[in-house]
């Protein structure tokens, strides 16, 4: 690999200098080194040093930098240099891990090499110094060049210590389009069940990270053993035959294709809700399966149950509420027919608005993308529906240009009009009449104009 390091930013060099002027060796480590070797130095800078944190703090303050005690129990302080934070951590090794995640203790050490050896992957275990150059004890540069995520040392031990590394491996591979080195890959499968010991919130963060790479489909396919442990509800989909003329693949393979399809139809710009929805849209298929006399499979109620399961999965992983709500709305509606007919479009937008107040129009377009992606995951004779959906999208755009009311508030008449025209007393009856007008516009295509609605009120 052409190993031309971009220049270390001045604010970070100032931190190294402050520590070294005080007599403590210091290196840049981890993500900045990795990304710099890959040609992008946009990563924040982490520094490790021989100085105990109290000495780091003293040296940095003496150099005029602000210092925050952000994790002194692990030897970390954060310097603020030219307005940018730089984490400075004392060389350390981890003690025993009894909870599959956190070391019971950390031990501070004198040698940077010991610190590098406790890191997770070779590409993350390199140190760099502007004068001393690159310190790469485990072949991280070669692995970056070949495109491999490889555990530092014995892979099985590393995943045994900290099960979260199992998902981190998948995330880093997805992020850079790398493969997982064979022994590391085997160890991933063996230790994936230990993800059960990891906090759900951390699993959610790693999955969000994998989604953000746009390569979730790759992760599901190549590292299936890991992904079904991260979300155990996916396990029953594996090998689940659908026995349906619409489906050429089992439920898991279909899901992988829909997740990939979502990236394709949105050119990689799907939002988090759309990605979660693609992943979980059919999660309840095994639970809702029934067969008719001909042996054909049906999945009555699967959108509703999938939405329910998705909600519980995402909530336990602390996915933000608005993403959960939108993903579940998409899942609930994914099987609903939508045609170019005005009534079908208006009903769809209204339903999206009911489920995601304030987002009805956007969610309706997201739903069409999910339906496109869903078709791409079905048998090839279903794919033509994908181009029909282009027509539906255009029709939806035209319909929305005519200002479809999404609630009674959007009607061209209001409660006072109803009271006056109908001679009603203010009260719930007024709302009922307004709902009737909304239905007339959405269902029967009565124009949402003052004249048309007043005429209806006067009937």
Among 9, 22, 25, 31, binds ligand ATP (CB under 6 A): 31
Binder of residue 119, out of ligand ATP, Mg ion, none (CB less than 5 to 8 A by kind): ligand ATP
162 forms part of the interface with ligand ATP (CB under 6 A): yes
Supply the minimum distance, in Å, between the C-beta of residue 168 and Mg ion: 11
Segment contacting ligand ATP by CB under 6 A, of 12-20, 158-166, 427-435, 445-453 = 158-166
Supply the minimum distance, in Å, between the C-beta of residue 149 and ligand ATP: 12
Count of residues interacting with ligand ATP (CB under 6 A): 11
- Sequence-separated (6 or more) residues with CB below 8 Å from residue 28: 8, 12, 16, 45, 46, 47, 127, 128, 129
Cα–Cα distance for residue pair 371/357, rounded to 1 Å: 21
153 forms part of the interface with Mg ion (CB under 5 A): no
The SS3 of residue 396 is helix
Placement of tokens 């007008």 in the chain:
437
Among 8, 14, 18, 30, binds ligand ATP (CB under 6 A): 30
Supply the minimum distance, in Å, between the C-beta of residue 128 and ligand ATP: 12
CA distances (Å), 440 to each of 346, 409, 446, 453, in order?
11, 15, 6, 9
What is 216-276 written as a DSSP string? HHHHHHHTHHHHHHHSGGGGGGTT-----TT-SS-HHHHHHHHHHHHHHHTTT---HHHHH
CA distances (Å), 292 to each of 88, 243, 244, 306, 414, in order?
65, 10, 11, 21, 50
Show the tokens assigned to 242: 């659908």
Site string for Mg ion, 232-271 (x = CB under 5 A): ----------------------------------------
Contacts 24+ apart (CB under 8 A), 353-356: 353/406, 353/407, 355/325, 355/328, 355/329, 356/325, 356/326, 356/329
Q: Which residues are 123's β-sheet partners?
A: none
Site string for ligand ATP, 45-64 (x = CB under 6 A): -x------------------
Supply the minimum distance, in Å, between the C-beta of residue 43 and Mg ion: 7
Residue (30 or 261) nearer to Mg ion, CB: 30
Supply the minimum distance, in Å, between the C-beta of residue 53 and ligand ATP: 17
In the DSSP assignment, the letter for residue 6 is P
Supply the minimum distance, in Å, between the C-beta of residue 130 and Mg ion: 21
164 forms part of the interface with ligand ATP (CB under 6 A): yes
Q: Which residues are 87's β-sheet partners?
A: 46, 78
Please, what is the end-to-end C-alpha distance for the chain in angstroms? 80
Given 3-state DSSP classes, what are the helix, strand and coil percentages for the chain, each rounded to the nearest 5?
A: 55, 10, 30
Supply the minimum distance, in Å, between the C-beta of residue 160 and ligand ATP: 12
Residue (30 or 204) nearer to ligand ATP, CB: 30
Binder of residue 164, out of Mg ion, ligand ATP, none (CB less than 5 to 8 A by kind): ligand ATP
Q: Which residues are 29's β-sheet partners?
A: 46, 127
The residues in 109-138 that bind ligand ATP, with binding defined as CB under 6 A, are: 119-120, 124-125
CA 329 to chain centre: 17
Residue (120 or 181) nearer to ligand ATP, CB: 120
Residue (56 or 213) nearer to ligand ATP, CB: 213
* Radius of gyration over every alpha carbon of the chain, rounded to an integer in angstroms: 28
Residue (31 or 193) nearer to ligand ATP, CB: 31
Cα–Cα distance for residue pair 383/375, rounded to 1 Å: 6
Supply the minimum distance, in Å, between the C-beta of residue 118 and ligand ATP: 6
Binder of residue 348, out of ligand ATP, Mg ion, none (CB less than 5 to 8 A by kind): none
User: Counting every residue, how long is the chain?
Assistant: 459
Supply the minimum distance, in Å, between the C-beta of residue 37 and ligand ATP: 12
286 forms part of the interface with Mg ion (CB under 5 A): no
The residues in 14-73 that bind Mg ion, with binding defined as CB under 5 A, are: 31
Binding footprint of ligand ATP on the chain (CB under 6 A): 30-31, 43, 46, 119-120, 124-125, 162, 164-165
- Residues of the shown chain interacting with Mg ion in the complex, contacts defined by CB under 5 A: 31
């Amino acid at each position: 690999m052409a190993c031309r390091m971009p220049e270390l930013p001045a604010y970070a060099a100032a931190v190294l200098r402050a520590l070294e002027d005080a007599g403590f060796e210091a290196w840049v480590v981890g993500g900045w080194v990795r990304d710099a070797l890959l040609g992008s130095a946009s990563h924040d800078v982490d520094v490790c040093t021989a100085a105990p944190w109290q000495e780091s703090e003293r040296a940095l303050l003496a150099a005029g930098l602000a210092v925050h005690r952000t994790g002194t129990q692990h030897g970390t302080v954060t310097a603020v240099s030219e307005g940018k934070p730089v984490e400075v951590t004392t060389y350390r090794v981890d003690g025993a891990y009894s909870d599959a995640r956190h070391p019971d203790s950390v031990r501070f050490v004198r040698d940077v090499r010991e610190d590098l050896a406790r890191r997770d992957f070779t590409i993350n275990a390199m140190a760099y110094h502007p004068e001393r150059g690159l310190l790469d004890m485990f072949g991280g540069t070669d692995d970056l060049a070949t495109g491999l995520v490889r555990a530092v040392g014995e892979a099985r031990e590393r995943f045994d210590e900290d099960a979260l590394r199992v998902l981190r491996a998948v995330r880093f591979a997805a992020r850079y389009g790398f493969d997982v080195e064979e022994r590391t890959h085997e160890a991933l499968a063996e230790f994936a069940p230990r993800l059960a010991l990891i906090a759900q919130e951390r699993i959610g963060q790693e999955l969000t990270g994998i989604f953000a790479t746009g390569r979730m489909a790759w992760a599901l396919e190549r590292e299936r053993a890991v992904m079904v442990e991260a979300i155990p509800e996916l396990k029953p989909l594996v090998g689940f035959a659908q026995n349906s003329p619409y489906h050429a693949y089992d439920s898991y393979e279909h899901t992988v294709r829909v997740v990939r399809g979502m990236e394709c139809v949105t050119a990689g710009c799907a939002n988090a809700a759309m990605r979660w929805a693609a992943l979980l849209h059919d999660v309840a298929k095994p639970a809702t399966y029934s067969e008719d006399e001909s042996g054909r499979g049906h999945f009555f109620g699967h959108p509703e149950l999938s939405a329910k399961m998705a909600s519980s999965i995402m909530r336990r992983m602390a996915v933000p509420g608005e993403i959960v709500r939108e993903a579940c709305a998409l899942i609930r509606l994914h099987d609903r027919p939508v045609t170019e007919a005005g009534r079908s479009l208006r009903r769809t937008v209204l339903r999206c608005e009911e489920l995601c107040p304030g987002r009805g129009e956007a969610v309706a377009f997201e739903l069409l993308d999910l339906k496109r992606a869903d078709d791409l995951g079905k048998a090839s004779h279903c794919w033509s529906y994908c181009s029909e959906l282009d027509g539906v999208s255009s029709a939806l755009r035209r319909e929305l240009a005519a200002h479809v009311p999404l609630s009674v508030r959007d009607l061209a008449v209001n409660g006072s009009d109803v009271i006056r025209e109908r001679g009603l007393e203010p009260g719930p009856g007024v709302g009922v009449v307004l709902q009737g007008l909304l239905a007339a516009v959405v269902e029967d295509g009565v124009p949402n104009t003052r004249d048309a609605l007043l005429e209806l009120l006067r009937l």
